[in-house]
Amino acid sequence: MSDATREGSALVIGEVLVDVVRRPDGTVESHPGGSPANVAIGLGRLGRDVSLLTSVGKDPHGDMVRAHLEDSSVALVEGSADAPRTSVATATLDGEGAATYDFDLAWDIDAGAATRTDPVVVHTGSIAAVLAPGGDAVVEILESVRDRATITYDPNARPALMGDPGDALAAIERVVALADVVKASDEDLAWLLTGRPSQGAGTDAGQADAIGALAREWATRGPAVVVVTKGGDGATAYLSNGRHVSVDAPRVEVADTVGAGDSFMSGLIDGLWEADLLGSQHRDELRGIDEATVTGVLERCARIGAITVSRAGANPPTRAELGEA
């Protein structure tokens, strides 16, 4: 990292929780998690100055979460540790390591807390921007910092919590319009498209076309870059200039997919930061990003994601593990 791209800090806003992982063999493990928290941890492990605005309780699960964040150099924004309890997500893995989730979660934040930092980039995602009552506060924060910071967003759809996909799509697109960079999985977009019945059905090829069309549509609504991740099939970035760039995923033995997308997201933020494209003063440069830069960033993101899926739980790599220390 150059000295210039070491400057500034990241603010991540969103839920932190404990993932209780139930494996096919009957074993149960607990890991700190939550999509935005995982992104913050990924950034911390990549050497970034990162703070997390969240809601965590003063209980044993909260103690586990706070220790995990501290170990990865993530600072909690003041007021983040006063929740009545720490939220829990139970992930049940199938025989291929894919996870389905059940949540015991409440989400609210101190909307004024974010004004204590002056970040280069603000990230949010998943439940944080759509679940009441905290979702409205998150949107207000994004609106207030957009003239100073790059906004990044990962919808990370949770059907068990987000209800009707049509309603979820409307809430998510409110945030997409504020964002400079969006990352979503093809599974996220496929579920959201069921809220548009004319686009949510048909053949696999038809669904892939509909997913690509939705990503292209989002790239006309404000974001400079919309990345669609496709698991073992790699990722595609749709740019605001109408072009797109695809990369393959490295082949690895998958332990589980928990936190893979979050690790990819932290790599995406870090890679664009390294390219000196973050901060509101670089918004025009980000919109003009060249395909070679996008390809390099995505390839590194894919490598980060591959390392994460090769081991249990949301456990993103450090810069040293990437050979970049």
DSSP string across 269-286: HHHHHHTT--SGGGHHHH
Is the residue at 324 inside a domain?
A: no
Asked whether residue 32 is assigned to any structural domain, the reply reads yes
Contact, 230 vs 183, CB < 8 A? no
**Cβ(97)–Cβ(259) under 8 Å?**
no
Domain-located, residue 321: no
Q: Quick check: is 185 in a domain? A: yes
For the chain, the distance separating the N- and C-terminal CA atoms, rounded to the nearest angstrom, is: 9
**Is 317 within the bounds of a domain?**
no
The sheet carrying 87-93 orders its strands as 28-33, 17-22, 87-93, 99-104
Residue 323 belongs to a domain: no
**pLDDT for residue 115:** 63
What's the pLDDT score for residue 106? 79
CATH number of the domain residue 221 falls in? 3.40.1190.20
The tokens describing 128, both together, are: 């944080």
pLDDT, position 254? 83
Task: Measure Cα distances from 124 to 180, 183, 204, 293, 308 in Å.
Answer: 12, 11, 30, 23, 20
Q: Which domain holds residue 209?
A: 4-309
Residue at 8 is within a domain: yes
Among candidate residues 108, 19, 102, the one with its CA nearest the CA of residue 68:
19
Total domain count, the chain: 1
Q: What's the rounded Cα separation, in Å, for the pair 66 and 314?
A: 15
pLDDT tens per residue, the chain (325 residues)? 455 566 899 999 999 988 888 889 999 988 888 899 999 999 999 999 999 999 999 999 999 999 999 999 999 998 898 888 899 888 788 888 787 878 788 788 876 666 667 899 999 999 899 988 899 999 999 999 999 999 999 999 988 888 899 999 999 999 999 999 999 999 999 999 998 866 555 567 788 899 999 999 999 999 999 999 998 899 999 999 999 999 998 888 887 777 789 999 999 999 999 999 999 999 999 999 999 999 999 999 999 999 988 887 778 988 998 888 6
Quick check: 24 and 148 in contact, CB under 8 A?
no
Residue 320 lies in a domain: no
